[in-house]
Homo-oligomer: A and B are copies of this chain.
């Protein structure tokens, strides 16, 4: 959390953002990551107060891992980091939109976006293939 890779243009907005957010009973808000230039929606994850603060202060996106119950600096294992371009808050403060610059792939399956299955006809069709293997992303940690 003390690492500052890229100064964010909104490091001073932590208290303004936190004041605008309505965290749920688990202390979380939903966070959508969107590639800032192409508009591609990459993933949906969750942020707590600490993740919001770390993201704004360091310029590198942090989430709260519900599975692991810990702060998760995106890319900390895989190297597939997200640089924050802009954080936006929705009308009722229970979701944020993160405009990011995604290095490599966002999905743990090795695909660029987590939304790689589309309802077409009577099926759910895989519309994107992995660009790297999970083994390449996570090595022995699988």
Interface residues of A (CB under 8 A from B): 9-10, 12-13, 16-17, 20, 30, 32, 34, 38-41, 43-44, 56, 86-92, 94-97, 107-109, 111, 114-124, 127
Contacts and interface: CB of A to CB of B under 8 A. Distances in A.
Given A39-B40, A41-B32, A87 B118 contact: yes
Given A44-B95, A90-B115, A95-B44, A123 B16 contact: yes
9 contacts: A10-B122, A13-B124, A16-B123, A32-B41, A88-B116, A89-B119, A90-B114, A90-B117, A91-B107
The interface residues of chain A, by DSSP majority, are classed as mixed
A90 B116 CA distance: 6
A119 B16 contact: yes
B32 A120 contact: no
Nearest to A122: B12
Nearest to A66: B94
Contact of A88 (B97, B109, B118): B118
Q: Which 10 A-B pairs have the closest CB atoms?
A: A39-B39, A12-B122, A10-B119, A13-B119, A44-B95, A90-B114, A88-B115, A97-B115, A16-B124, A87-B119
Contacts of A90: 43-44, 114-115, 117
